[in-house]
Structure 1
Amino acid sequence: MWTGLLPYSVDFRTLMGSIIMFPATANPVCVRAARPPVGRMHHVARTAVYALPFALGCVLFGAVPAGAQVMDRDIGSAPSLLVSRPLPKHDSHKTWVPPFSQPEAVAPNPVSKWLRRRGINFLVDNTNEFAGAITPPTRGTTPGFSNYKQGASNAGQYAMQLDVDWDKLAGWHGFATHMVTVGRYGTTANRMFGDWLNHASEDYGGGGNVVVHLVYAYGEETLLGGRLAIAAGRMAEISDFAASPLFCNFQNGSICGRPKGITDTNFAAGYPASTWGFRVRGRPARSVYVQTGLYPIENGIYQVFQHRTGFKFNGANIIGYTAPIETAWEPVFRHGTLPGHYKFGAQLFSTPQDDNYLDVNGAPYALTGRKRQRHGASWSTWMMFDQRLLHYHNKDSGLTALSGMIYNDPRTSLRKYLVYAALLNRGAFRTRPYDTMGFALTYTRIADGVTLAEQDMINNGNRSSLPNHATGVQHNTIVMEANYAIHVMPGVIFTPLFEYYIHPNAQSNLRNAALLGFKSHIQLM
């Protein structure tokens, strides 16, 4: 049994065998071939090399695609999909509710169709993410190193989304409400080899370890033919700002959900966390928008002691406010086949934060032991671009490039900046129009003050007090992922993947880590 050091660690061979069996059940040859050989396997690489070719072969040739189910349209992507949708070609000032997300599901559901005709959109899905290291971790006797083990883990979530078009239901023109709840399970493999910056499975954490966790619940009024949208309620700020539905074509947390640098302070509420918020978006031109908002900063937004269920609404833990602003150009080239999005934004945090290097007297706090200097406000900025470069056969097929950068206040941040680049190649094979090949790379630079403070602590023999779960000085890290998303059947996507961490936890004293895994998405209704 090849397990890790955390309670939800699982056997890689058993889990890979079960997931491979699922899409192959229609083919008896695949069922027999997917069974792992008898006997104990001591290395996950042998299992992966054996299993993945059968998984790919059986899924590619044993199932026929029947609809445009892609990871861009899972539950939680609805706000960023709306942001990324330019105005219709035909000019109109009619008040209307933008169409809801309606992904294909495993089985046709006449009840869902009946509800949608009356303005009620109810979705249920499951996303599961598995990752297992195929390289051994750093060994040592110093604090922290003795706990590192080569292991695998599984994490995931089941989610429910409820959208109501009150125009259809009650005649309230342009008004809709949106609510998402999730339940999360499992853990993430990256901590087994010492990384605490980027989850190997993005679906880990933030769900409170409860059956139902409220992600967001808010109302939105759309006016002037979509030129003005006003929203308020319990909102996930980073679902609207610095957002893209393309990010979660990948599994690792350095890019999936949102590039990790944007929530560096834990004061910007991102899925599955939310706060009370207000946002207004205007579109002065068809392909241009400007949006801003105001969101209270709630202490412990990602921690269970305040937000275990997400249903705590009293605001007793509000400690400040964040005010984001973002503008974007969303051109569509070559007769509507090559869409692009070019975003620029910033946000200001009003909550005082500690300096990452200086004490109250302007000297290094790691040497003096005095309280750290406090800054009355801090900030974060971003620019994000994606552009489809080539178009293939179907409407949503083609080669898309993504790139961007998040730059944070270097006085208070852990991550000074994060740079990312990615490629998504969808529908390259005419017989597999919804399959997607992906490659992503993120580079994270730790703030200079954090690096200097950790070096001072180590020089003074105070290694046990290092922040950020560090076991050495933090400088920079790179996370890469390559995957192939297979459209198995309507409502089902299976994505084998490879992840590689260079300098885990931004530490050069930790071995690089390679992981094999998969991401699956099942849209139930």
Structure 2
Amino acid sequence: MALLAATQMPSIARAQSETARTLDTDQYTAIGFPIAGQGAVPIGPLVPSLYGNPHLFGDWGGAQSWMQKRGIFLNIALNEEYMGNVTGGRTRDNVLAGQVAAELDIDWQKLAGFQGFWTHLLVVNGHGRNFSSTLGDYVSNPEQIYGSRGNVVAHLVSMYADKTFLNDRVILSAGVIPTGTFFDFDALACNFMNVSVCGNFAPGKYAPGGRDWPSANIGAVLRVRPTERTYIMGGLFAVSPHAFNGGVSGWALAQDGLGKLSSQFETGWDPAFGKDKLLGHYKIGFYYDNSRYPNLYEDRYGGSYQASGLAARKESGMWSSWFMFDQMLVRSGKGIADGLIVIGGVGYAQGNVVAMRDHEWIGLLQSGSPWHRPLDEVGIMFQHMNMSRSIRLQQQSSVALGLPFVSNQWGNVYGVQNWEQVYEAFYSLHVLPATSLQFDFQYLQHPGATTTFKDAAILGGQLTTNF
């Protein structure tokens, strides 16, 4: 079954990106916290939020200043996307999809004197449909936003609290948390429309123990900064056996079957090289889910479960691992993301129970400072995705037996899946305060990781704003 809830947080990440391109590196404390009220996108693993970001409607007639002085940060972000394939794919189609996200962050030290304590609430409402369903490609997901988010007015994405210790060097977070908002996360990747790398990467985010935005797991995360530029963090999350964590609305927190756990670990280094403070972020991580999952191909004797008619063999545990980085190569302004930045990574998953085995990506981002448009951005990226040997054996068995293909974590299957590659280029034009209009082109080689459909050329665009 397709995990239709699994997408990311583009409008929020883009609002952060605008702040990142204008904030000076000196505005950050040693452990990665932004100075109060001066923005988001910390240099370390802290969860980005919208507090302190610019707003289309400014100070809301003084309401924003009044709330922020009391530690209340309320933000509403809009994302509208249009996308269509010029050629290739299963069918020719174009879609319009969008989302409204509302976030409430409260600094309880300011509000009530409770030192080092924050709470976070994020809900979304969406409209539109999945472009991938008519394109015939659920593997790369060219769009970031799709679906009605459970057909509810306010789909719960996250609801958790932070408590800091030892002068903010230790942070404990607990509640309803999208795991990829903490682990294998890179907000810069959400400047690209293809969701496979937005925020956190596939394959990990499509597996039950690592599902991400707008799906969340009940759990806790402990983050520690042993030095100014390094961090270590670990998390423990309840794993939902259902297609949607928290139900289709996100609010059904007491789902049955939550007895298994996913444990995640990540360590990172956030250097700043030379006199120009060329910022970088390097992280490596791993998660293990101790649930039992069916083998994608084998029965208990090691043969095809489709041919034998026996149940698929159950495997103990599921794992995923990653290495991710971004590094500024040339600085063109004082902002922490104002320059030429290389971004990339590699992710692996346990191929006998996860349909995608590995995923590699590399890209370049450049702010518009060299052509006197510092809040504009341009980027290119290449992605390569390999499906697992087990899923190919299953699909070859389906062909030999004349059976329909079995859907997997990536949705419907239209042929024997091998690999897919994505080439993407975009230009994001800053048109109003906290508002950008982006133009995007993607070329998908082997849509759906098969040769069933012709390679697809896709044109897209999106409007993002933070009210």
Q: Same fold (TM over 0.5)?
A: yes
Instruction: Give SS of 1:247's match.
Output: helix
Aligned counterpart, 1:122? 74
Distance 1:461 1:85 in 2: 64
Aligned counterpart, 2:222? 280
Question: Is the contact between residue 320 and residue 349 of structure 1 (CA under 8 Å) also seen in structure 2?
Answer: yes
Range 483-492 or range 355-364, more displaced: 355-364
1:440 CA displacement? 1.6
1:509 CA displacement? 2.2
1:319 CA displacement? 4.4
Cα gap change, 1:464 to 1:175, in 2 (>3 Å)? closer
Where do 1:258-269 residues align within 5 Å?
Answer: 258-269=200-211
Distance 1:489 1:466 in 2: 43
The one of 45, 54, 59 equivalent to 1:104 is 54
Where do 1:209-288 residues align within 5 Å?
Answer: 209-288=151-230
Which amino acid in the other structure matches residue 195 of structure 1? Answer: D
Q: Is 1:418 matched up with 2:354?
A: no
Range 500-509 or range 366-375, more displaced: 366-375
Distance 1:284 1:521 in 2: 37
Aligned counterpart, 2:447? 504
Which amino acid in the other structure matches residue 329 of structure 1? Answer: W
Cα gap change, 1:90 to 1:325, in 2 (>3 Å)? closer
1:493 CA displacement? 0.3
Question: Is the contact between residue 414 and residue 447 of structure 1 (CA under 8 Å) also seen in structure 2?
Answer: yes
Distance 1:229 1:113 in 2: 27
Question: Is the contact between residue 207 and residue 309 of structure 1 (CA under 8 Å) also seen in structure 2?
Answer: yes
Cα gap change, 1:449 to 1:91, in 2 (>3 Å)? closer
Kindly report the root-mean-square deviation, in angstroms, between the aligned alpha carbons of the 2 structures.
Answer: 2.8
Q: Is 1:177 matched up with 2:127?
A: no
1:494-524, Cα deviation, whole Å (9 max, x unpaired): 0011011110110022211111110210111
1:222 CA displacement? 1.3
Distance 2:309 2:447 in 1: 28
1:15-48, Cα deviation, whole Å (9 max, x unpaired): xxxxxxxxxxxxxxxxxxxxxxxxxxxxxxxxxx
Which amino acid in the other structure matches residue 121 of structure 1? Answer: F
Distance 1:358 1:493 in 2: 49
Instruction: Give SS of 2:159's match.
Output: strand
Range 349-358 or range 98-107, more displaced: 98-107
Distance 2:358 2:157 in 1: 27
Distance 1:269 1:87 in 2: 30
Question: Is the contact between residue 187 and residue 204 of structure 1 (CA under 8 Å) also seen in structure 2?
Answer: yes
Distance 1:260 1:253 in 2: 9
Cα gap change, 1:127 to 1:235, in 2 (>3 Å)? same
Aligned counterpart, 1:203? 145
The one of 386, 389, 393 equivalent to 1:445 is 386
Aligned counterpart, 2:136? 194
Aligned counterpart, 1:459? 400
Aligned counterpart, 2:331? 391
Where do 1:29-48 residues align within 5 Å?
Answer: none
Instruction: Give SS of 1:103's match.
Output: coil
Q: Is 1:482 matched up with 2:425?
A: yes
Question: Is the contact between residue 97 and residue 175 of structure 1 (CA under 8 Å) also seen in structure 2?
Answer: no
The one of 312, 321, 334 equivalent to 1:381 is 321
Q: Is 1:166 matched up with 2:93?
A: no
Alignment gaps of 5+ in structure 1: 1-69, 79-83, 138-147
Distance 1:380 1:71 in 2: 26
Instruction: Give SS of 1:226's match.
Output: coil
Question: Is the contact between residue 17 and residue 188 of structure 2 (CA under 8 Å) also seen in structure 1?
Answer: no
Aligned counterpart, 1:46? none
Q: Is 1:436 matched up with 2:377?
A: yes
Distance 1:334 1:91 in 2: 19
Cα gap change, 1:197 to 1:90, in 2 (>3 Å)? closer
Question: Is the contact between residue 31 and residue 225 of structure 2 (CA under 8 Å) also seen in structure 1?
Answer: no
Sequence identity percentage: 27
1:413 CA displacement? 1.0
Cα gap change, 1:242 to 1:359, in 2 (>3 Å)? same
Aligned counterpart, 1:400? 341
1:461 CA displacement? 2.1
Question: Is the contact between residue 470 and residue 505 of structure 1 (CA under 8 Å) also seen in structure 2?
Answer: yes
Q: Is 1:473 matched up with 2:409?
A: no
Question: Is the contact between residue 31 and residue 169 of structure 2 (CA under 8 Å) also seen in structure 1?
Answer: no
Distance 1:211 1:357 in 2: 40
Cα gap change, 1:459 to 1:91, in 2 (>3 Å)? closer
Aligned counterpart, 1:332? 272
Distance 1:366 1:185 in 2: 38
Distance 1:98 1:496 in 2: 26
1:192-225, Cα deviation, whole Å (9 max, x unpaired): 1211222221112482122111111111011222
Distance 1:249 1:135 in 2: 24
1:366 CA displacement? 3.0
Which amino acid in the other structure matches residue 107 of structure 1? Answer: F
Aligned counterpart, 1:345? 285
Distance 1:155 1:280 in 2: 36
Range 401-410 or range 248-257, more displaced: 248-257
Question: Is the contact between residue 123 and residue 161 of structure 1 (CA under 8 Å) also seen in structure 2?
Answer: yes
Question: Is the contact between residue 427 and residue 433 of structure 1 (CA under 8 Å) also seen in structure 2?
Answer: yes
Instruction: Give SS of 1:190's match.
Output: helix
Question: Is the contact between residue 87 and residue 286 of structure 1 (CA under 8 Å) also seen in structure 2?
Answer: no
Structure showing greater radius of gyration is 1
Cα gap change, 1:428 to 1:324, in 2 (>3 Å)? same
1:257 CA displacement? 3.4
Range 199-208 or range 320-329, more displaced: 199-208
Task: Extract structure 1 runs of 4+ deviating beyond 3 A.
Answer: 70-78, 84-87, 89-92, 95-100, 463-468
Cα gap change, 1:267 to 1:85, in 2 (>3 Å)? farther
Q: Is 1:74 matched up with 2:26?
A: no
1:253 CA displacement? 1.6
The TM-score with structure 1 as length reference comes to 0.78
Question: Is the contact between residue 77 and residue 245 of structure 1 (CA under 8 Å) also seen in structure 2?
Answer: no
Cα gap change, 1:327 to 1:368, in 2 (>3 Å)? same
Which amino acid in the other structure matches residue 391 of structure 1? Answer: R
1:458 CA displacement? 0.7
1:71 CA displacement? 7.0
Range 455-464 or range 291-300, more displaced: 455-464
Counting matched residue pairs gives 437
Cα gap change, 1:85 to 1:455, in 2 (>3 Å)? farther
Question: Is the contact between residue 385 and residue 419 of structure 2 (CA under 8 Å) also seen in structure 1?
Answer: yes
